């Protein structure tokens, strides 16, 4: 999505300036061209050479550079970009923008630009909450300036609260969302489930499975990058939340079903979670104690709700495309074909989780896509590649629908 896009990155002075280095690296990974402008204060935290090495382009610093200004640098820089990004954006530079002050290269080009501006604020919590800053933000928003963050968290000054700069990948996600206005799934809403479910035995113990959540999380991220407004409902997992995705965390199958129902209506529903088929019928209110010489406790099980079938068979509010996963250890395609018909979903993705495949917790997957009239055998791919391929296949499906 960012390949060939020209980003003008303004780095202003603050301890968060060090995160601009990671931001540049992530943008360059996505084939974006990055040109950097530094304020004088920013040079107290990061060096021009660091920005130049990562961006592979000249770094601009001085308003009155004879070479640059002979070419009207402050005009050309501001207009050759596809998007202007300020990260970090200090209270000072936001105040200057709101007041129309142009006393250095960064603020001059911001006043001269005819391109959209995305700012990632970073400042002390008291500075963020100050009436002057809030008034400046309101002014800038009224002029069309976009914002990402700030987050709430610990700060370098030792205080805690809002004002912490958005993480580099959050800023990347915001940039992708900006350019995603022409993405294939813009205007669509998606729901993805991921990870395991934990079914409580008592307040301490549970029944679960080995699902890592890697595949479901990757699918949610891929749908978001394709422009879909995406909700991820996930069981307990160590996977980080995908950028640009609304995340709902649950533990049990019943909680997951309720969260899925709350997320409706959606156009796309992908059920990648490894939901426990059974739960303990009566959860013990206290920890079950081991008795000396005694027998292990007798557990009675009840069937969990079938989330995929419940959503796929809705009479009203059914998603336009319902996709399930069939984690199999044998007869993958045959079992997936039968499962698709039994559940009532549109597509079923069969994947091999037998011993030795490394699928659970691993980074690769072998997928067979089963539809009503065909079976597609995909080669072994990374889970990210599976997610991207599935998102492209979903986009193709919606493009083929009658207008």
Residue with tokens 């501001």: 78
Write down the pLDDT at residue 67.
Answer: 53
Top mean pLDDT of 84-93, 206-215, 324-333 is at 84-93
Q: Are 275 and 304 in contact (CB under 8 A)?
A: yes
Enumerate the known binding-site residues for CTP: 277, 287, 305-308, 325, 339, 343
Domains recognised in the chain with CATH numbers: 6-180 (3.40.50.1950), 184-399 (3.40.50.10300)
Write down the pLDDT at residue 70.
Answer: 46
> What would the DSSP string read from start to end of 238-302?
SSPPPTT-EEEE--SHHHHHHHHHHH---SEEEE--B--SEEESS--SSPPPPPTTPPPPP--EE
- Taking Cα atoms as reference points, which of 344, 378, 345 lies closest to residue 364? 378
Q: Are 105 and 62 in contact (CB under 8 A)?
A: yes
Write down the pLDDT at residue 155.
Answer: 67
Mean pLDDT of 179-188: 80
In the numeric block, which tokens belong to residue 140? Answer: 């800038």
Write down the pLDDT at residue 106.
Answer: 92
Encode pLDDT of 68-83 as tens digits: 544 545 567 777 888 9
* Banded pLDDT at 296 (limits 50, 70, 90): confident
In the numeric block, which tokens belong to residue 170? Answer: 């959050």
Q: Please provide the average confidence, as pLDDT, over all residues in the chain.
A: 88
Write down the pLDDT at residue 297.
Answer: 81
> What would the DSSP string read from start to end of 78-122?
HHS-SEEEEEEE-HHHHHHHHHT---SHHHHHHHH--S-EEEEE-
High-pLDDT (> 90) share of the chain, %: 52
Encode pLDDT of 121-138 as tens digits: 999 888 999 999 999 999
Q: Which of 36, 157, 260, 345 is catalytic?
A: 157
| Angle between helix 91-99 and helix 131-142 axes, rounded to 10 deg | 50
| Angle between helix 19-29 and helix 48-55 axes, rounded to 10 deg | 10
Mean pLDDT of 215-243: 91
pTM over 0.85: no
Mean pLDDT of 367-393: 90
Residues whose CB falls within 8 Å of the CB of residue 93, separated by 6 or more in sequence, listed in order:
10, 12, 39, 86, 106, 107
Cα–Cα distances (Å) from 87 to 14, 23, 171, 176, 234, in that order, read 10, 9, 8, 15, 31
Strand partners of residue 86: 10, 119
Mean pLDDT of 131-146: 92
Write down the pLDDT at residue 66.
Answer: 47
**Quick check: is 260 catalytic?**
no
Q: Among 35-44, 54-63, 150-159, 160-169, which stretch is predicted with the lowest mean pLDDT? A: 150-159
Q: Are 350 and 332 in contact (CB under 8 A)?
A: yes
In the numeric block, which tokens belong to residue 29? Answer: 């990974």
- Taking Cα atoms as reference points, which of 128, 36, 39, 121 lies closest to residue 87? 121
């Amino acid at each position: 999505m960012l390949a060939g896009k020209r980003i003008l990155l303004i780095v202003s002075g603050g301890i968060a300036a060090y995160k601009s280095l990671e931001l540049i690296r992530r943008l360059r990974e996505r084939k974006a061209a990055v040109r950097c402008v530094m304020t004088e204060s920013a040079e107290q935290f990061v060096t021009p050479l660091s920005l130049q090495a990562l961006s592979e382009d000249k770094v601009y610093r001085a308003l009155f550079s004879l070479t640059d200004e002979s070419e009207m640098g402050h005009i050309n820089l501001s207009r050759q970009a596809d998007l202007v990004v300020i990260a970090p954006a200090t209270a000072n530079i936001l105040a200057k923008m709101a007041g129309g002050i142009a006393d250095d290269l960064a603020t001059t080009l911001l006043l001269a630009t005819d391109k959209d501006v995305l700012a990632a604020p970073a400042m002390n919590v008291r500075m963020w909450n100050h009436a002057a800053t809030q008034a400046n933000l309101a002014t800038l928003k009224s002029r069309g300036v976009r914002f990402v963050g700030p987050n709430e968290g610990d700060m370098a000054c030792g205080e805690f609260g809002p004002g912490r700069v958005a993480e580099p990948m959050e800023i990347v996600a915001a940039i992708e969302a900006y350019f995603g206005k022409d993405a294939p799934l813009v205007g669509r809403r998606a729901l993805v489930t991921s990870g395991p479910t934990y079914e409580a035995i008592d307040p301490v113990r549970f029944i679960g499975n080995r699902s890592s959540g890697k595949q479901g999380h990757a699918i949610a991220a891929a749908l978001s990058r394709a422009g879909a407004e995406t909700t991820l409902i996930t069981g307990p997992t160590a996977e980080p939340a995908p950028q640009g995705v609304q995340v709902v965390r649950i533990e049990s199958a019943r909680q997951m079903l309720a969260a899925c129902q709350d997320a409706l209506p959606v156009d796309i529903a992908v059920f990648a979670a490894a939901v426990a088929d059974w739960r303990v019928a009566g959860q013990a209110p206290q920890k079950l104690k081991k008795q000396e010489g005694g027998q292990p406790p007798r557990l009675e099980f009840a069937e969990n709700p079938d989330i995929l079938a419940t959503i796929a068979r809705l009479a009203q509010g059914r998603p336009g495309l319902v996709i399930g996963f069939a984690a199999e250890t044998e007869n993958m395609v045959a079992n997936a074909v039968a499962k698709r018909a039994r559940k009532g979903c549109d597509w079923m993705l069969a994947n091999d989780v037998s011993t030795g495949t490394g699928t659970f917790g691993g980074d690769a997957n072998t997928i067979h896509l089963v539809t009503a009239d065909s079976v597609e055998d995909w080669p072994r791919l990374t889970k990210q590649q599976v997610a991207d391929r599935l998102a492209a296949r979903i986009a193709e499906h919606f493009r083929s629908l009658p207008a």
